[in-house]
Each structure stands twice: as C-alpha cells, then as structure tokens.
Chains A and B, each alone.
Chain A
C-alpha cells in the first residue's frame, strides 16, 4: 500500500511536469498575439514594447525561456503577472481560500445531501418519497449550473432582495453560490448512491445480517452504507474536474473573488504567468484528490489494503 502510494505521488509529479510543459508551449509558442500589445497604451512606441518584452524575458529564444521558467518554477518562482506586476503564485494563493471555501462547502453539501436522499430513496424504494427524490434528481441533472445560479439570483437576489448576489462577505454571500454549485453534484450523488444502495441491499450478506436478527436500521447503517459508499467515493474523484468547471462558472456569475474568477479575467487579458500557475494548481488538486480518494477507498475496503 505504501509503495503504491509513493508510486502514485511520483506519477502525479510527472503528470504535473507534463502539464506545465504543455501549457507553457501552447501559450508562449502557439499563442495568437503578443501579450505586451494589450498591456501597453495605444500610443506606445516599438521601443517601449521591446523594453516590456525584455522585462518579461519574452525576447529570448523559446527553449531558453522554457528552461529558465522550469528552473525558477522548481524554486517556487512562477514569474510575475503581466497585468499586476506581482508574483503570479502569490496572486493565485491569495485567491485560493475563497475558492476552497466555496468549492469545499458545495462538495460537502452535495455529497452529504446526495448520500442521504439516495439512501432514503433506496431503503424506501418505490414509495412516494423515492418518486419525489428521483424526479428531483432528474431535474437537478438537467439544469446547467449557470442557469440555476441565474434563476436563484433572479428570485432571491433581484425579486425578493433577500440575499446578495455578488462578492464575498458574511454567510449570506455564501448561500446562493454554494447552493447553485452543489446542485448538480447533489443530483448525481443521489442517483448513484440510490442505485448502489439498491444493489447492496439485494446482496446475500444483507439477507444474512437480517437472518441474524440485526435491526434493519443497523443493517443499513453498518453493512450497507459502507459497501455502497465505495462507488460513490470513486465517483468523487471522477467528477472532480467537473467541480472545477462549475467553480469557474459560479465564481464568474457571483463575482466571487476566487481562483475561478481570476482565471477567466487572466485568460482574456493574456496574463499567461497567472494562467499557468492556475492550471498547475488545478492539476495538483485533481491529482491530490484522486490520491485522497484512493486512500479513503483502501480505508473502506480492506481487500485493497491487504493486496
């Protein structure tokens, strides 16, 4: 198990190297236009532009730029933002807590409610409760996040004026973004945990537990819950990239001062150092989440642990 984890960490590190390289060349080499063109005032002279290019190291050959970048990156220096002149890494890290707060809450809400509804749905299968849960899950899967966010903003922000629809502040600022971001996950986890629970509830060891006279709620909570969580946990890893996409959308709509918001503004301003750091950060998060999922998986399923 430990060796396996070490191997995974090593592969993760390699993946990040690959990602950083690809992004570097895609943006610097294949990039459409000179980023300095946007940054300078319209009346700037070609000399001004040259000076700016030299300042960012854009005048050197590409390979030299690449090696310089990699060398600095390994020391934790990811260059300066073209736009703000601040170190790109700091700029991104400043925004990170806001994003983690939003995405973490949304993931937690979606997962816990999804599991809860899905399991209730499975246990009370084919009852009114189950029907309602299934219809809601079906609708939840069909509403795009941005549409839900706008609907909620329209109803609770504009029409009822109960909740703020922009920026970060107290708890009231969190409600709409978190709910609209968690809904897709909630629906998906509901569906998955329902079907997984139904499958588990039909298995022999569940019947066996009941034969022993274990109360049904204990059978569900001890025997079935742990077993049916395994596919759900794997699913978290699989859908984490979708969570990131959702995060970008929601931060943009609610002007949430997080990384997702920053990446959208940076990309339109061709602020490549910042984009690069963010891409790297996201792939780091994807890799670590998958690692975390694997560890949880091994914790839940001793068969993996003893392999």
Chain B
C-alpha cells in the first residue's frame, strides 16, 4: 500500500535555475547599461506644466509620463531608470571598499596568526557591535551627507564580515599540503597569500558579493531615505521615496514605484546569490 502510491508519484529533481531571480538581475543590469537610451527624459529634467501627474492608466495620466511625475514635474519612469545606475554604483563601490579591507584583514589575520590575528579579531568584535546608523550619523555630521559619505560609512562598517570568512578559509587552506609545499619551495608569505589562497576563496567571495549587493542596495537606500546619503536632485531610489513621502496622501506612485524597484532588484540578487551558493559552495560555509 505504502509504496504503490509512492511509486506512481514522479519525484521532482530540485536543481532548477532560478529564472525569476536571473531575469530581475538581468533587467536591472540592462537598465544600468542601456538606461541612457531607454529613459525618455533626463533625471534632472523638470517641467512645471506637468507636475504630479498620475501614471498613464489613471485619469489625468498621459503616455508621455508612463509612471507619472513628481512635485517638480520630473518623469518618475526616467528617474527610476537612471536610479538603477546610482544604486548599483554605490552598492558596488561600498562592497569594493569594505571587501578589499575585509579580504586584506582576513588574509593577514589568517596567515600571520599570533598577535596580528588577535588584534584584528578583537577589532572585528568591536566593530560589529557598532550600528551602521550611528557611524553614519557621526560621519555625516562631520562631512555632510553625500554619496561619498555613504560609501565611506558602509565601507568601514562592513569589513569584519568578510575578514572573518576569509580568515576561516585561510586557516583551513593553511592545513593543506600544497601550501606547505609552497612554503618549502621558498615562496614568501605574501606570494602564497595571493597566488595560492586567493584562487581558493574565489568561489566563496563570488557568492558573498552577490548576496551582499542586495543588502547594500537596501542599506544605501535607507541612508538616502533618512537624508544621510545622496542629495537631490539625484534619482537614488531611497531619496525618491524620501521626497515622495510628503505626498503620500495624494501621490502614491511617488512612493510605490521606487519601492517596488528596490524590492525587485534586491530580490533578484538574493535569489541569484542563494543559487550561486548552492552550486559554488556545496559545503555551505556561508549561511
């Protein structure tokens, strides 16, 4: 009885490619690259004659502004498209910044061991207990809000995560014979670090970066939303929502479309990241 039923049931094999995620990421990257040609208007172009227009399919909307316009008569659709580039650039800059610091710290910590290791790890602990927002607040009060501030804030806030993972990888790789051999063969520590360890952690890093882009898009948008990040007239999605917030009673589209854009982009990167982790990191070192 038990097995007859199960025999008939076709077992699904679970190695599907996540088309939803890939298409979101693909669409996002497409906008980043070809945005200038697609967007009907420049992101700074404003037109007082057509301000606060609703999306095209509502009463009073026009096809000239598919997703409506904001209080200055700027085209929401165009600003969203241009905003994709801002979001990705800032996110990537942040990751590049703290990724570099993190990887270097992790390599140093894992390879040198001893006091270096201890100091770096203590620093990590201290750092991780610091809310990003507090760092942002302090730095913004020093430098004033700007995209650069955001990159610096996130850049110096995020490195411990990378450092820990890279350190862990180093420690396990160090046990391998080929590293010992390289040492015997007279390679310097530095040479070993970069030519032997790096290729070994490349997969881990790819997964980590993909998963991080989503988080960074959220964090930078949050800072912009709070007025601590990029400043007008930048078409940053977080900033657009901040500006649209005042009109939430009358112009919902100013809040909803940028929000959905962030959601789709982040969702895409998260799904693709999870997928990559499954194929590149079978041992599930990252969770």
In the complex, whether B69 has a CB less than 8 A from a CB of chain A is no
In the complex, whether B238 has a CB less than 8 A from a CB of chain A is yes
In the complex, whether A151 has a CB less than 8 A from a CB of chain B is yes
In the complex, whether B51 has a CB less than 8 A from a CB of chain A is no
Residues of A within 8 A of B133 (CB): 244-245, 248
Q: How large is the interface on A (under 10, 10 to 19, 20 to 34, 35 or more residues)?
A: 35 or more
A283 x B226 contact (CB < 8 A): no
Q: Among A144, A151, A252, A279, point to the contact of B138 (Cβ < 8 A).
A: A279
Q: When chains A and B are docked, how far (Å) is the Cα of A141 from the Cα of B219?
A: 12
Q: When chains A and B are docked, how far (Å) is the Cα of A26 from the Cα of B227?
A: 20
In the complex, whether A238 has a CB less than 8 A from a CB of chain B is yes
B263 x A142 contact (CB < 8 A): yes
In the complex, whether A286 has a CB less than 8 A from a CB of chain B is yes
| Chain B binder among A51-59, A75-83, A263-271, A299-307 | A263-271
In the complex, whether B172 has a CB less than 8 A from a CB of chain A is no
In the complex, whether A172 has a CB less than 8 A from a CB of chain B is no
Q: When chains A and B are docked, how far (Å) is the Cα of A154 from the Cα of B266?
A: 22
Specify which of A30, A245, A283 lies most central, judged by the most chain B CB atoms within 10 Å of its CB.
Answer: A245
In the complex, whether A104 has a CB less than 8 A from a CB of chain B is no
Interface residues in B197-229 (C-beta closer than 8 Å to A): 214, 218, 221-222, 225-227
Decide: A143 near B263, CB < 8 A? Known: A192-B287, A249-B226.
Answer: yes
Smallest Cβ-Cβ distance to B284: which chain A residue: A195
A133 vs chain B, min Cβ distance (A): 15
In the complex, whether B181 has a CB less than 8 A from a CB of chain A is no
B55 vs chain A, min Cβ distance (A): 15
Residues of A within 8 A of B222 (CB): 144-146, 245, 249
Decide: A32 near B134, CB < 8 A? Known: A142-B267, A147-B241.
Answer: no
| Chain A binder among B59-67, B106-114, B183-191, B252-260 | B252-260
A154 x B226 contact (CB < 8 A): no
Smallest Cβ-Cβ distance to B133: which chain A residue: A245
Decide: A154 near B142, CB < 8 A? Known: A144-B218, A241-B132.
Answer: no
Q: When chains A and B are docked, how far (Å) is the Cα of A233 from the Cα of B126?
A: 19
Residues of A within 8 A of B252 (CB): 154, 158-159
Specify which of A139, A153, A241 lies most central, judged by the most chain B CB atoms within 10 Å of its CB.
Answer: A241
Interface residues in A239-261 (C-beta closer than 8 Å to B): 241-242, 244-245, 248-249, 252-253
In the complex, whether A290 has a CB less than 8 A from a CB of chain B is yes
Residues of B within 8 A of A279 (CB): 134, 137-138
Residues of A within 8 A of B226 (CB): 146, 248-249, 252, 264
Residues of B within 8 A of A270 (CB): 141
Tell me what chain A mostly uses at the interface: helix, strand, loop, or mixed.
Answer: helix
Residues of A within 8 A of B263 (CB): 139, 142-144, 147
Interface residues in B233-287 (C-beta closer than 8 Å to A): 238, 241, 245, 248-249, 252, 255-256, 258-259, 262-263, 266-267, 270-271, 274, 287
B127 vs chain A, min Cβ distance (A): 10
Smallest Cβ-Cβ distance to B258: which chain A residue: A147
Binding site for B on A (CB under 8 A): 15, 18, 23, 26-27, 30-32, 138-139, 141-147, 150-151, 153-154, 158-159, 192, 195, 238, 241-242, 244-245, 248-249, 252-253, 263-264, 267-268, 270, 275, 279, 282-283, 286-287, 290
Q: List 27 A-B contacts (CB under 8 A).
A: A26-B141, A31-B141, A32-B143, A138-B274, A142-B263, A144-B238, A144-B259, A144-B263, A150-B248, A150-B259, A154-B255, A154-B256, A158-B252, A195-B287, A241-B128, A241-B130, A242-B131, A242-B132, A244-B133, A264-B226, A267-B137, A267-B141, A275-B141, A279-B137, A286-B131, A287-B129, A290-B129
Shortest Cβ-Cβ A-B pairs, 9 listed: A241-B131, A147-B259, A142-B267, A245-B133, A142-B266, A244-B131, A286-B129, A144-B218, A146-B225
Q: A146-B222, A241-B131, A252-B226 are in contact. List 9 more A-B contacts (CB 8 A).
A: A27-B138, A32-B142, A144-B238, A146-B226, A150-B255, A151-B259, A153-B248, A268-B227, A290-B129
